[in-house]
Amino acid sequence: MSTKVVKFGGSSLADAEHFKKVADIVLADKTRRYVVASAPGKRFSDDVKVTDMLYRCYDMAVKGDSFSDAFKAIEERFNDIISGLGLDISLDDEFAGIKDAFAHRAGRDYAASRGEYLNSMILAKYLGFDFVDPAAYIRFNDQGQFDLDTTRTLLGEKLSGITYAVIPGFYGSMPNDTIKTFARGGSDVTGSIVANAVNAVIYENWTDVSGFLVTDPHIVDDPEPITTITYRELRELAYMGAGVFSDEAIFPAKKANIPINIKNTNKPEDRGTFIVSDTAETSRFTITGIAGKKGFSVIQI
């Protein structure tokens, strides 16, 4: 059976209603076998992402401040999802273990990673898939650099024995087994790594826009999606601030020549953007896209 790897961002897993859309998408195609999940993102524009709540809570713990209320607010985000889905599970033991680890200063990366960890447990249960913790399989070296060769072997072996799994995005572990995260937005990287490890036919990256748009929809109204873009063009745009897909996430998929399709969880019928190694398609436009970062300039010598 050919295998698709699908990644759902925080905007696609922010609440129970979004989880239902995600399940419809995953279960509609039996080749969508490996699902990479982010932590719950914003439910409305001035909401706070669970990852940011975790960082804040951990910083309070390290300072020795009381963090019980801040932690309770995180528990509520997950409990709302569990009850909204009508699931018969409790994460209370997990919450207690994490709270204890915060008090014992288990590390800022560990703290941040718990958003993907808990959300993936819920999603695995809801889909009826296995849960695979990437800590044992996605590995960094002593210098803190991601080690694709080791990871491909470990993760490839592990997943070869599992037909359907949910894998938390955003983190792996160091040689001493402490948790290490990728940069913010790093669940995109995990999806790309899983696609590489299982030789997926495609890596679908599901988000809240209908593909990679010619520019940021928060700045320009209703920009068109780019139908097809090369890895190289996308890397340039992502690096320059087009936040929809992290530039670090290109490499593992590109290395195995796996196309990436950026799709909209809220409009699954839209074609989205295909990211490929090269394209024979001639675009209607000379310029592929426009991106920018506030306060950031590049000087080329």
Residue 49 binds which of ligand ADP, ligand ASP, Mg ion, none (CB < 5-8 A, kind-dependent) = ligand ASP
Strands 260-264 and 273-276, sheet pairing: antiparallel
- Per-residue binding string, Mg ion, 172-211, x by CB under 5 A, is -------------x--------------------------
Q: How far is the CB of 299 from ligand ADP (least distance, A)?
A: 23
Determine, following the binding rule CB under 6 A, whether residue 107 of this chain makes contact with ligand ASP.
no
The correct pick among 26, 36, 39, 81 for binding ligand ASP (CB under 6 A) is 39
CA atoms within 13 A on the CB side of 278: 1
CB 39 within 8 A of CB 171: no
Cα–Cα distance measured from residue 140 to residue 134, given in angstroms and rounded to the nearest whole number: 12
Site for ligand ADP in 23-82 (CB under 6 A): 38, 41
Residue 12 binds which of ligand ASP, Mg ion, ligand ADP, none (CB < 5-8 A, kind-dependent) = ligand ADP
The correct pick among 6, 36, 115, 234 for binding ligand ASP (CB under 6 A) is 115
C-alpha 125 chain-centroid distance: 18
Cα–Cα distance measured from residue 16 to residue 233, given in angstroms and rounded to the nearest whole number: 35
Phi/psi of residue 122, nearest 5 degrees:
-65, -45
Of 14 and 106, CB closest to ligand ADP: 14
CB 123 within 8 A of CB 27: no
The correct pick among 172, 185, 252, 272 for binding ligand ASP (CB under 6 A) is 185
CB 12 within 8 A of CB 21: yes
Q: How far is the CB of 188 from Mg ion (least distance, A)?
A: 6
Determine, following the binding rule CB under 6 A, whether residue 208 of this chain makes contact with ligand ADP.
yes
- Interface region with Mg ion, contact rule CB under 5 A, candidates 3-11, 54-62, 74-82, 151-159: 3-11
Of 108 and 184, CB closest to ligand ASP: 184
Other beta carbons within 10 angstroms of residue 63's beta carbon come to: 8
Its sign, for the CA torsion 202, 195, 16, 43, is: negative
Name the helix (H) or strand (E) containing 171: strand 171-173
Residue 209 binds which of ligand ADP, ligand ASP, Mg ion, none (CB < 5-8 A, kind-dependent) = ligand ADP
| DSSP-assigned states of every residue in 7-62 | EE-GGGSSSHHHHHHHHHHHHT-TTEEEEEEPPP--SSTT---HHHHHHHHHHHHH
Cα–Cα distance measured from residue 50 to residue 42, given in angstroms and rounded to the nearest whole number: 8
- Interface region with ligand ASP, contact rule CB under 6 A, candidates 75-83, 152-160, 182-190, 266-274: 182-190
CB 234 within 8 A of CB 250: yes
Q: How far is the CB of 163 from Mg ion (least distance, A)?
A: 27
The correct pick among 212, 248, 261, 272 for binding ligand ADP (CB under 6 A) is 212
Site for ligand ADP in 118-177 (CB under 6 A): none
Determine, following the binding rule CB under 6 A, whether residue 40 of this chain makes contact with ligand ASP.
no
Binding site for ligand ASP (CB under 6 A): 9-10, 38-39, 49, 51, 115, 169-170, 184-188
Binding site for ligand ADP (CB under 6 A): 9-12, 38, 41, 185, 207-209, 212-213, 215-218, 242-244, 289
